[in-house]
Amino acid sequence: MSPHPLPLDRIRIRDLHLRCVIGIQEWERSVLQDVRINIVLHADLAQAGQSDRIEETINYKTLSKAVIALTERSQFFLVETLAERIAELCLADRRVQRVKVSVEKPGALRFARSVGVTLRRQRSG
């Protein structure tokens, strides 16, 4: 019987607060709204831990800048679509094996702090 493989390591980007055009209502198409993004990247970080070299890991500063650029220029109707595009961006780094992305719209519902979606995607093959 083979031993269970170790779970992948994780890098977290928490509470990235951005503004973008998002929503299905006509008024939402002409204003910037707040969104809060959380990302968990699953990868093997052992090599980076041993080498202490940024080239061996996922540069979360570079990734967060790409997420900011994607979000701020986006004009999606659905938070699901924004979350999907962020997941695709994260998986473009070959080291990322799985990703969990949450996108929330604070104040989207009158009596709720926020409304949002969470999705999980993984590298195919």
pLDDT tens string 8-34: 999 999 999 999 999 999 999 999 999
Q: Is the pTM of this model over 0.85?
A: yes
Domains and CATH numbers, the chain: 9-122 (3.30.1130.10)
User: 37: which strand partners?
Assistant: 16, 103
105: annotated active-site residue: yes
The Cα–Cα gap between 29 and 91 comes to: 28
Helix axis angle for 60-73 and 79-91, nearest 10°, is: 150
pLDDT tens string 43-74: 999 999 999 999 999 999 999 999 999 999 99
> Among 61, 65, 100, 105, which one carries the catalytic annotation?
105
The Cα–Cα gap between 56 and 67 comes to: 21
User: 122: which strand partners?
Assistant: 98
